[in-house]
Structure 1
Amino acid sequence: MIDEATQWRRFAALLPPADAAGFMDCWDIGEQEAGLDQLVAGLLKHRVPICETVRAEIAVAAEVWGMRTALAADLGRCLGDHQGDDRLRLIEHADTVLSSGL
């Protein structure tokens, strides 16, 4: 289990330094909602590829902070990093069926 502050720093590491600093500033002042918005916008702006596990982790954080609906479309547009065997996969609808046997 990763604590929230550690997870926030992991998310910041995905961004270029200037964007990461702004993202961390949001954490420091208690504006997590704005920070999550900045995170997803930064991933899109800088075309940062993320694996499905990270995408799912961001989606969970967004759900916790009441931002899932607002960020879902943009998070889905983030580039995928298909280099690893992802343990988690974000699906948009509960009735979606995976055919990979998971």
Structure 2
Amino acid sequence: MFAVIKTGGKQYKVAKDDVLDIEKLEVEDGASITFDEVLMVGDKVGAPTVAGASVSATVERTFKDKKVIVFKKQRRQNHRRKRGHRQTLTRVRITDIAG
């Protein structure tokens, strides 16, 4: 069985024992969390969420993603800006889908 959850402004299709890298959550490593914004469970589609459905997960670690280079240039103006960005992510393992 699978579910579609919403977290960090994005939607993820998950199944039991899946490992996801999502936007940073303010929880410690090893803690268990519950996602209550479940948009779909199996063939049940919510409007906008499925009532009484939840997805449980365990936080494995929090880390920084690869660096993304942001380069801006204006032609013929000798204007260049180079910046880097590393997004902080949380890796979670889905343990249970209730719904």
Q: TM-score, normalised by structure 1?
A: 0.21
Between Structure 1 and Structure 2, which shows a larger proportion of helix residues? Answer: 1
Between Structure 1 and Structure 2, which shows a larger proportion of strand residues? Answer: 2
Structure showing greater radius of gyration is 2
Q: Which has the higher contact order (CA 8 A, sep 6+)?
A: 2
